[in-house]
Structure 1
Amino acid sequence: MVCRLNKALYGLKQASCNWFSKFSYAIQKASFTQSKADYSLFTKSKGNTFTAVLIYVHDILITGNNELVIKSFKDFLFQQFHIKDLGNRKYFLGIEGSQSKKGIFISLRKYALDILNDVELLGSRRNSFLMKAYLKLNPDDGNPSHDPTKYRRFVRRLIYLTVTRPNLVYSVQILSQFMQNPQKTHWEVALRVLRFIKGNPDQGLFFPSFNNPTLKAYCDSDWADCETTRRLITGFCVFLGNSLISNKTKKQTIVARSFIEAEYRAMAASCLEITWIWHILEDLKVSQSQPTSLFCDNQAALHIAKNPIFHEHTKYIEIDCHIVREKL
């Protein structure tokens, strides 16, 4: 016997796909265009008016430069779905937002306080810095943690906190490497990160109203600093004017054969992120009138990007060379 569902019930694995298909079909009937860079972004441009819609499961953000057009679109949604209008954005996916004439400020203050409350650190002393300089953690440091599940849950919550706290990205990346078998030493470092958060739980990101909409990016990398795998860790951050809009720190799956290769692979990762952001900005009608500047602190990596000739010692990074040179 085979049952055929007539309705995608909430909680089934097919439900999310069917819901998004239905929403996409409905919103495109209202002359919205789905972004090719981010399928959850829909935009509509007509004359001097511009409207953007961002959806995450059943949470929707609507913005634009004409309130009448936004109201008309809300009326359309009321006709198609059972929705609730919560007014101006204050919370979205746990992210708190406040808006003024100077700009928009977002933070995860309540989320951070909830984490501190869960591990009973609201009354503890605070730390002024995250990690000790040149701290090296290994999978077998100390004794196994008495509650690995608690450590995993805590680190997963910290990962989401980095959305508005980019200064935590590197530390959280280090802690997330020991999820399989956390040790007491790892838990102590994690508690130090929490005490640092306690010092300023409402820290977040500010996006000024008046800003130069020009992209620029910075990238960097270490080389074989991980004593366990010797893999490199790359990082980059992308700014739109003075506003940080993207950042990432990640341990790569390869072992770099030289410091130049490590720096160059960081440039390659940054190029891919810049390209994706270019497409997003095009959908949002934020044109880039000049090339994006990518800053790197390694002169050898910069020379490889500019030199169209491959040498014997750069053959093993040929694919990444193609990416950076093509974008250059």
Structure 2
Amino acid sequence: MKPLWVILVLLANLGFTCSPHVNALFIRKNEHGVVLLLLYVDDMIITRDDADVISTDDGIYLSQAKYASDLLARAGITDRRTESTPLEPNVRFTPMDDTVLDNPTLYRQLVGGLVYLTVTRPDITYPVHVLSQFLSAPRTTHYAAVLRILRYIKGTLFHGLYFSAHSSLSLQAYSDADWAGDPTDRRSTTGYCLFLGNALISWRAKKQTFTTRSSTEAEYRALADTTAEVISIRWLLEDLGAPQSSPTDVFYDNRSAI
């Protein structure tokens, strides 16, 4: 691999300039449009072998159906049983549920695979986030919950992301949080999603760092995280030559936090 400074010189000679907002993003604009180069990405990048991409005049559909099928086979799920939801309503997990798995290897492999699948399956982001917190000592209840997610995926195998060619470029966001949702440490979970027109482009479910003392505080922290993501996406859109001409609406349901 070439030293980083050599790569940077080559990029400069090719007409690429570094984004003022994202250090790893390099941009080159010409009469045909905008060319992007991401110099470094994290582990959450999908490869051609793992993704199904269908492109038409109306838009692009992206899924990981083949990868999901391989994950089902690894779990040994071969019957026709499916689930309508990835988690049971109002279920809560703790590190002390039932008994410890004798061999946690398969659990860790399946959860890792599910994390990778969330790249195109935002509908399983929250349950996967919850179950990934028990990788060090998973219990039988946690493993049963992983199998439920997989059976839900089996019934929704071809779900994915659709990006319409006719969508507007107006950015809007939705934000929410539970309060003290984790029964063990009483921390809250932040959740948000961002749409560019009718295309879902960013989403997250993550436990908050601190234990909050009120629902207002938990919701306010979620709103702050959502706002930070909105600003980041607005910067990226500006780099892409599609700046937002008006403020971004962030939809929220907590009057005190607003």
Give TM class, smaller chain: over 0.9
Mapping of residues 1-328 of structure 1, within 5 Å: 15=1, 18=2, 21-47=5-31, 49-54=33-38, 92=48, 94-302=50-258
Matched residue of 1:250: which SS?
strand
Using a 3 Å threshold, how does the CA distance of structure 1 residues 95 and 19 change in structure 2: closer, same or farther? Answer: farther
Structure holding more helix per residue: 1
Aligned-residue sequence identity (percent) comes to: 39
Using a 3 Å threshold, how does the CA distance of structure 1 residues 260 and 206 change in structure 2: closer, same or farther? Answer: same
Using a 3 Å threshold, how does the CA distance of structure 1 residues 109 and 24 change in structure 2: closer, same or farther? Answer: farther
1:51 alignment partner AA: V
List gaps (5 residues or longer) in structure 1. Answer: 1-14, 58-89, 303-328
Q: Distance in 2 between matches of 1:171 and 1:299?
A: 27
Using a 3 Å threshold, how does the CA distance of structure 1 residues 141 and 257 change in structure 2: closer, same or farther? Answer: same
Deviation at 1:211, TM superposition (A): 1.2
Deviation at 1:132, TM superposition (A): 1.2
2:25 alignment partner AA: L
Structure (1 or 2) with the larger CA radius of gyration: 1
1:45 alignment partner AA: K
Deviation at 1:279, TM superposition (A): 1.2
Please give the per-residue CA displacement for 1:126-154, whole angstroms capped at 9, x wherever unaligned. Answer: 11111111111110111111221211111
Matched residue of 2:237: which SS?
helix
2:13 alignment partner AA: K
Over aligned residue pairs, what C-alpha RMSD do you find?
1.9
Please give the per-residue CA displacement for 1:186-237, whole angstroms capped at 9, x wherever unaligned. Answer: 0001001000000121210000001110110000001012110000101100
Using a 3 Å threshold, how does the CA distance of structure 1 residues 146 and 21 change in structure 2: closer, same or farther? Answer: farther
Q: Distance in 1 between matches of 2:79 and 2:8?
A: 47
Structure with more relative contact order (C-alpha pairs < 8 Å, separation 6 or more) = 2
1:100 alignment partner AA: T
Q: Distance in 1 between matches of 2:238 and 2:4?
A: 23
